[in-house]
């Protein structure tokens, strides 16, 4: 773990709009202290701060029989707060240096992609099929796959710069390798220690999840203990 940045963390880099007053927003450096993030976003040339509101965001993390991460899948709905928005930037961080071996997109396509192998960072531009009008919504899906067997995974989650209308996270485990305990986790920024906020119950379909509406900016995730 580097500078207390959660191990397998996605970042949502939306800039707050003038209309939004749901709560404070976090500067990038507060959410993600890892310096490589800024360098990758500078290479892409657009930090994704054109005005978009995240209406709904669903993440699914798939864990393999060796307790390793196999895949991360995301489905998101955005609303344009200004005319002309045509892309979104996603960031994924893996501090052990394992980068995705494959990626998928539906309802969008990958544009510029930049990676930092030393720190396990990837920043990717997701291009919409058109520029949006003010108030228009847009649905997209994307994912990262991992062929290389990585280290044992014990937590997953996403960091948000701004308050989020709806966030659903699910972690799906191999039926032959189920954890002993699962917890919902939270931290207000990238410098604060991770805190368990609730116990989570595993379903008979080998997955655990939580959903929240109107949540604060910060890092929201799930951790588990293998025992």
CATH of the domain at 201: 2.60.40
Reported residue count of the chain is 227
What's the pLDDT score for residue 146? 87
177's enclosing H/E stretch is none
What's the pLDDT score for residue 18? 41
DSSP state of 151: P
Report the alpha-carbon distance of residue 180 to residue 170 in Å, rounded: 16
Contact 10, 59 (CB under 8 A): yes
What's the pLDDT score for residue 45? 77
In a domain, 201, yes or no: yes
Report the alpha-carbon distance of residue 4 to residue 156 in Å, rounded: 13
In a domain, 159, yes or no: yes
In a domain, 112, yes or no: yes
Dihedral of CA atoms 127, 131, 137, 139 in degrees, nearest 10, equals: -20
For residue 157, give its domain range: 9-225
What's the pLDDT score for residue 2? 29
Contact 169, 22 (CB under 8 A): no
Distances (CA, A) of 51 to 40, 102, 223: 20, 29, 32
In a domain, 135, yes or no: yes
Dihedral of CA atoms 215, 219, 221, 223 in degrees, nearest 10, equals: -140
What's the pLDDT score for residue 162? 81
Number of domains forming the structure of the chain: 1
- In this prediction, the residues of the chain whose per-residue pLDDT falls under 70 are 1-24, 46-50, 95-96
What's the pLDDT score for residue 14? 55
Stated pTM of the model: 0.86
In a domain, 67, yes or no: yes
In a domain, 37, yes or no: yes
In a domain, 3, yes or no: no
In a domain, 1, yes or no: no
């Amino acid at each position: 773990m580097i500078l207390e940045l959660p191990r397998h963390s996605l970042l949502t880099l939306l800039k707050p709009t003038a209309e939004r007053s749901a709560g404070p927003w976090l500067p990038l450096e507060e959410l993600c202290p890892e310096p490589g993030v800024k360098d990758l976003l500078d290479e892409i040339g657009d930090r994704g701060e054109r005005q978009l509101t995240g209406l709904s965001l669903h993440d699914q993390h798939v864990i393999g029989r060796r307790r390793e991460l196999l895949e991360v899948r995301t489905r998101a709905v955005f609303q344009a707060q200004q005319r002309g928005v045509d892309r979104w930037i996603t960031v994924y961080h893996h501090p052990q240096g394992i980068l995705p071996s494959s990626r998928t997109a539906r309802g969008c396509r990958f544009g510029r992609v930049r990676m930092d192998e030393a720190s396990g960072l990837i920043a990717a531009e997701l291009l919409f099929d058109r520029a949006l009008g003010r108030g228009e919504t847009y649905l997209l899906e994307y994912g990262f796959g991992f062929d290389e067997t990585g280290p044992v995974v014990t937590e997953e989650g996403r960091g948000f710069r701004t308050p989020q209308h709806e966030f659903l996270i699910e972690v799906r485990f191999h039926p032959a390798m189920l954890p002993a305990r699962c917890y919902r986790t939270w931290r207000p920024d990238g410098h604060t220690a991770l805190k368990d906020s609730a116990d989570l119950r595993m379903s008979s379909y080998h997955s655990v999840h939580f959903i929240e509406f109107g949540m604060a900016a910060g890092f929201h995730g799930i951790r588990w203990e293998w025992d």
